[in-house]
Amino acid sequence: MNNAYETPQDAEDAFYDALEEGDLGKVLTVWADSDDVSCLLPRYPLIRGRREVEEVFRHLFSQGQGVALTVRHLGWVNADDMAIHHVEETLQHVPPGTPPPPPFYGTNIYRKHDAGWCLIMHLNAPMPAPPQ
């Protein structure tokens, strides 16, 4: 069952908090309860449908930890019942002696339903390498 988020930002905050906690149940409350949702993550094929979204996040959390990210908003578009947020995601914790990976660009698309706002698409990709 989805929570009723009053704004797209409320849904986004809940999504990133749940990622950090590694809480699959909380992650899923942000997603629309629909087979029309999709997710595109690095090194994964396009994931379509709520069941497949659940499986990919279950796999991501299978090591018993979440993903702590610093999120910086680059811009957003809100129009009636849709909102598109562009963000920069930076991993907060990397193993000692490992250089931090470059940030990711992310796009989150939210739709307003009768109960409130929910996530219908999440995608992210690494930033391009700097010119040599």
Whole-number Å distance between alpha carbons of 81 and 45: 28
List strands edge to edge, sheet with 104-113. Answer: 47-48, 38-40, 116-126, 104-113, 82-91, 69-79
Q: 8-126: which CATH number, 3.40.47.10, 3.40.50.1170, 3.20.140.10, 3.10.450.50?
A: 3.10.450.50
Q: Where are the domains of the chain?
A: 8-126
Give tens-digit pLDDT for 80-128.
Answer: 999 999 999 998 887 888 888 889 999 999 999 988 999 999 999 887 7
Q: What is the pLDDT confidence band of residue 2, given thresholds at 50, 70 and 90? A: low
